[in-house]
Amino acid sequence: MLFALAVVGVGHVAAQENVITPVPAVVEWGEGSVDLGHDLKLYVDAPKDDALRLEAAAKDTGLRLSRVCRPARKGFVNLMVVEEGDVSALAAERNVAEGYVMDITAEGVSIKATSPAGLYYGLQSLKQIYEAHGALTTCHIVDAPRFGYRGVLIDVSRHFRTKEFLMRQIDQMAAMKMNRLHLHLTDAAGWRLQVDSYPRLTSYAAWRVPHTWKEWWYGERRHVEEGTEGAYGGYLTKAEARELVAYAADRYITIIPEIEMPGHSDEVLAAYPELRCTQLPERQGDLCIGKEATFAMMQSILDEVIEIFPSEYIHIGGDEASKSSWQECDDCRRRMAEEGLEDVDELQSYMIHRIEGYLNARGRQIIGWDEILQGGLAPNATVMSWRGEEGGIAAAAAGHDAIMSPHGYCYIDAPQDAPYSQPESIGGYLPLDKVYSYEPAPESMDAAVRDHIIGVQANLWAEFIPTDEHYEHMLWPRAIAVAEIGWSQPARRDFVLFRERAVRIVDDMLERGYTPFDLKNEIGNRPESLEPVAHLAVGKSVTYLHPSRYYAPQYAAQGDATLTDGLRGTWTYADKRWQGFLGRGGVDVVVDMGEVTHVESIAADFMQICGPGVFMPCRVEIWGSVDGEHYEPLADIEHEVVVDELPSFKSFGWEGSADVRYICYKAHRSAYSGFLFTDEIVVR
């Protein structure tokens, strides 16, 4: 069989060839197709349970199939688990166990893999070809995933999601060849898994008033008894969780449960207050590590968790523990003295080590957020790096496996289009192209480190996402981008081609009743940011007055050059164009025009995103001077700062006529504690 086209790189690809997501390693397209005038004969050579799964997946392609007991010679779909040597074309790929080789000829379809999972992924590609072409176009495909871990985190704690909702997401994950569903089951806002040994975790800690996380978090943070009028919440029963595990396994997805410890445990302490630290106010979020009862509880819970979830990994959280209560707690101080621990970081590390040993003895491994590095990493732990890539790189350099999930690319709880057009969210801006641009293990990374980067994950936290429809809107299509990052080789990735496929996938999801973001109607980035702005102050020097009013180091943007570099900010303050001020005074700068200049307008933009604490100024003053000593007022603008839900942008400026060399621009922070962000002082 001769094939007319080999797609081995990126570039111009005909629409009929740009059909498979994630993009395969090698595709060679032919010119013919399989005769679909009659049922195709389906032959499956795989272990019994897998054969049933694969038969179901084959029929889900939409093809008319009849199961047969031996391979046919014409009009067939043959699925065969073979020895590794029989798919030697995959030898150069990582994670060969999930790879496959598919040949579609005029006679039929042959898919070979070294595992049933590989056959399943081959069927996903087959389905996409059939749906795109309405036929089985002849081709030869050699494919295997780049990373063995390709995941999505779904947060069911802040707002509960049912078993049925999770199954819908599993279906779409499977179509995109993702293989890990990380369930964030526990957090302050609600415990979401039945635990027989500690029943108040679900009879009390799973319920709250009011309904939304936002109202609850900024209110009294009350938990209530199950059945209380107006109570919101829910949890997965053990039977439901087992059903969910089986459903995912049928699609070659492993569910990884997360049981948060020691932080994010407000709901546990509400239900079992005896586990609080001593001598402190009632509201606490960290488990008391000094009490043996804490370990008895966590170990009992984990015993029940591993009975339900067969995953090799159990996620134990480990992030954002304040540790403040431990410093004053008699029990924690006694533990530190007995164990020779120098500080609270080592106290947390003590707990992580101890829990890891408990799970290792039961044949399981732990994953934790990158804070588990603090105080010393447990011997066999895998690190999930979220605060950036540094934690994952440090863990990998020390010989530990790491999963990359940096918030700048993989936290898909930020709006994906112009924020004013999107539902309320935590703030920022993370469009599809930014997600897709992420590279978890670049060639510049040391090879020994790169070998320990085992995967990538999208995280969707639900603080501001109360409904299922909103959740799907945030999840898709950005999770599809993460799927392609995890599967496809970097040289095969091309955003223009990917976006074409993503638009088609989104349209198909909409037809099937999902509620993804409507990608084809995307507004895009802030118009002001698309091109440099030309104005009189570009390149002029800026003096920042009073050290307390300097920009914050984490939001320095381009440093002292930021406010006159001609670059306007995007929809997010994390783009290294917006400069953030947290000092008590706000913005207080002087622009030196270099010589006396006639000006007719001076203005700067500010943003407001209340969720993360970004507010407009309450007052803006603009002054002009010829000599740098005597300033004349040009504008004094009062602004009432009002807390609202959606991000907003506003220009504060002056228009008139003046001859100045020095321009003093002052923006005052409001009574709300938070940042001021501005991007450019535009002088015309």
Catalytic residue among 187, 266, 417, 494: 187
Contact 47, 116 (CB under 8 A): yes
pLDDT, residue 229, reads 95
Q: Give the 3-state DSSP-derived string for 20-65, with helices as H, strands as E and coil as C.
A: CCCCCCEEEEEEEECCCCCCEEEEEECCHHHHHHHHHHHHCCCCCE
pLDDT for res 282: 63
| pLDDT beyond 90 at 385 | yes
- pLDDT tens digits, one per residue of 514-541: 999 999 999 999 999 999 999 999 999 9
Which residue shows structure tokens 């992924």? 121
Phi, psi of 166 (to 5 degrees): -65, -35
408-412-414 Cα angle (round to 5): 80
166, 205, 289 from 188: Cα distances, Å? 21, 9, 18
**For the chain, percent of residues with pLDDT exceeding 70:** 95
User: Average model confidence (pLDDT) for the chain?
Assistant: 94
Residue 299 CA to residue 229 CA, distance in Å, equals 33
* Number of Cβ atoms within 10 Å of the Cβ of 357: 13
Contact indicator for 326, 289 with CB cutoff of 8 Å: yes
Write the pLDDT tens digit of every residue in 326-364: 998 999 999 999 999 999 999 999 999 999 999 999 999
Banded pLDDT at 549 (limits 50, 70, 90): low
pLDDT digits (tens, 9 = 90+) for 390-426: 999 999 999 999 999 999 999 999 999 999 899 988 8
Determine whether 584 is exposed, middle or buried from the number of CB atoms within 10 Å of its CB (0-12, 13-18, 19+).
exposed
Average pLDDT of span 173-191: 98
Q: Judge whether 264 counts as a catalytic residue.
A: yes
What is the rounded (10 degree) CA torsion for 509, 8, 522, 472? Answer: 30
Q: Model confidence over 387-396: pLDDT tens digits?
A: 999 999 999 9
Query: Does the pLDDT of residue 279 top 70, yes or no?
Result: no
Categorize the per-residue pLDDT at 547 as very low, low, confident or very high, splitting at 50, 70 and 90. Answer: low
C-alpha–C-alpha distance, residues 227 and 315, integer Å: 30
pLDDT band per the 50, 70, 90 thresholds, residue 559 = very high
Mean pLDDT of the region 579-587: 87
**Per-residue pLDDT for 440 more than 80?**
yes
Distance between CA atoms of 366 and 380, rounded to whole angstroms? 7
User: DSSP assignment, residue 219?
Assistant: T
The DSSP code sequence of 116-168 is HHHHHHHHHHHHHHHHHHSS-EEEEEEE--S-SEEEEEEE-SSS---HHHHHH
Gap between the Cα atoms of 213 and 236, Å rounded:
19
Query: How high is the pLDDT of residue 7?
Result: 40
Exposure string for 229-259, b = 16+ CB within 10 A, e = fewer: eebbbbbbeeebbeebbebbebbbbbbbbbb
Per-residue model confidence (pLDDT) at position 92: 52
Label residue 278 by pLDDT band (50, 70, 90).
Answer: confident
320 is catalytic: yes
d(C-alpha 251, C-alpha 458), whole Å: 19
Active-site pick, 17, 215, 320, 508 = 320
Q: What domains appear along the chain, each with residue ranges and CATH number? A: 5-143 (3.30.379.10), 149-277+290-301+320-521 (3.20.20.80), 527-683 (2.60.120.260)
Using a 10 angstrom Cβ sphere, with 0-12 exposed, 13-18 middle and 19 or more buried, the burial of residue 337 is exposed
* Catalytic choice (223, 264, 400, 452): 264
Provide the pLDDT confidence category of residue 646 given band limits of 50, 70 and 90.
confident
Which pLDDT score is estimated for 378?
87
> What band does 116 get if pLDDT is binned at 50, 70 and 90?
very high
Can you tell me the distance from the alpha carbon of 530 to that of 567, in angstroms, rounded to the nearest whole number?
9
Cβ within 8 Å of residue 256, ≥6 positions away: 151, 180, 181, 182, 183, 309, 311, 313, 314, 315, 367
> What average pLDDT does range 607-625 have in this prediction?
94
According to DSSP, the residues that pair with 544 across neighbouring strands are 589
Cα atoms in the Cβ-side hemisphere of radius 13 Å centred on 24? 30
Q: What is the pLDDT of residue 152?
A: 98
Preceding omega of 477 cis (within 30 degrees of 0)? yes
Q: How far apart are CA 518 and CA 509, in angstroms?
A: 10
Rounded Cα gap, residues 403 and 452, in angstroms: 9
pLDDT exceeds cutoff 80 at 225 = yes
- What is the predicted pLDDT for the residue at 546? 76
Rounded Cα distance, 382 and 367, in Å: 5
Peptide bond between residue 22 and the one before it cis (omega within 30 degrees of 0):
yes
| Residue 550 DSSP label | S
Residue listed under structure tokens 């914050």: 552
- pLDDT by residue (tens digit) across 463-475? 999 999 999 999 9
**pLDDT score of 83 more than 90:** no
Q: Looking up tokens 């749906």, which residue turns up? A: 131
Q: How far is CA 324 from CA 263, 320, 357, 370, 415, in A?
A: 11, 11, 26, 19, 33
Position 645 pLDDT exceeds 90: no
